[in-house]
Amino acid sequence: MISTVLAQAAAGGSGILGQVFLFGSIILIMYFFMIRPQQKKQKESKKFIEEIKRGDEVVTIGGLHGKVSSVEGDKVILELDRSFKVTVEKSAISLDFSKKTETKK
């Protein structure tokens, strides 16, 4: 009788260990498939925004296509047409859409 109680206690302990292992592996999978790629994309976007310079062709989040006329701190002046310029925030420039326009050319 004592041996059956000890066997049940040992089996219960391994079940908890199995659940902890399963939960840990789910967290690890979520990190590699969801969190890590998002962090990488944020780093690329931040680097792209910091490296914007005069003459770059960019697309804003709102869909405006233009050439960078000048960069002043957190603001970028885009030249949409020969003498038509618009001031936008650097954060309003989209990395994804700007890459798409570069690949089409």
Tens digit of pLDDT for each residue in 51-100? 999 999 999 999 899 999 999 999 999 999 888 999 999 999 988 777 77
pTM, whole model, 2 decimals? 0.65
- Let me know the angle formed at the C-alpha of 75 by 73 and 79, rounded to the nearest 5 degrees: 130
Q: Which class is domain 52-104? A: mainly beta
Contact 83, 42 (CB under 8 A): no
Going across the sheet that includes 57-59, the strands are 57-59, 65-72, 75-79, 85-89
- Let me know the angle formed at the C-alpha of 32 by 40 and 44, rounded to the nearest 5 degrees: 5
What is the C-alpha separation between 88 and 93, in angstroms, rounded?
8
| CA pseudo-torsion sign 47, 49, 52, 56 | positive
Domain ranges across the chain: 1-51, 52-104
